[in-house]
Chain A
Amino acid sequence: MKPIQVSMTINGQAQRADVDTRTLLLDFIRDAAKLTGTKRGCNEGKCGACTVICDGLAVKSCNMLAATADGCSVETVEGLGTLKQLHPIQEAFHKHHGLQCGFCTAGFLMIAKNLIDQGLSPDHDDIRHAIHGNICRCTGYQKIVEAISEAAQTYLPAAAE
Chain B
Amino acid sequence: MKAFEYHRPHTVSEAVELLSRHQYEARILAGGQSLLNMMKWRLAAPSVLVDANRVAELSSIRKEDSAVRIGAMVRYRDLPSGVPEACGAIHDAVSVIADFQVRNLGTLGGSCCQADPFGDMPNVVVALGAEMTARSVRGERQISVDDFFLGPLQTALEPDEMLCAIRLPLGSARTGSAYEKFSWREGDFAIVSVAAAIGLDSAGSAVSGRIVVGGLGVGPVRLGRTEEVILGADKGADVIKAAADQASREVDPEDDRIYGSARYKRELVRTLTAKALARAWNRAENHKGSATR
Contacts and interface: CB of A to CB of B under 8 A. Distances in A.
Interface residues of A, number: 29
B100 interface: yes
B3 interface: yes
A101 B8 CA distance: 39
A45 B33 CA distance: 7
A22 B51 CA distance: 12
Contacts, number: 76
Size class of B's contact patch? 20 to 34
A64 B5 CA distance: 16
Interface in B187-227: 187
Chain B contact surface mostly = mixed
A7 B7 CA distance: 15
Interface stretch (A52-60, A80-88, A90-98, A140-148): A52-60
Interface stretch (B101-109, B174-182, B234-242, B243-251): B101-109
B256 interface: no
Contacts of A68: 8, 29, 32, 51, 53
Interface in B76-122: 77, 98-102, 104-105
Given A63-B36, A64-B105, A21 B8 contact: no
Given A65-B36, A129-B186, 9 more contacts: A21-B4, A57-B77, A58-B104, A63-B36, A63-B37, A67-B51, A68-B29, A133-B99, A134-B99
Interface of A: 1, 4, 20-22, 24, 43-45, 48, 51, 57-60, 63-65, 67-68, 70, 111, 114-115, 129-130, 132-134
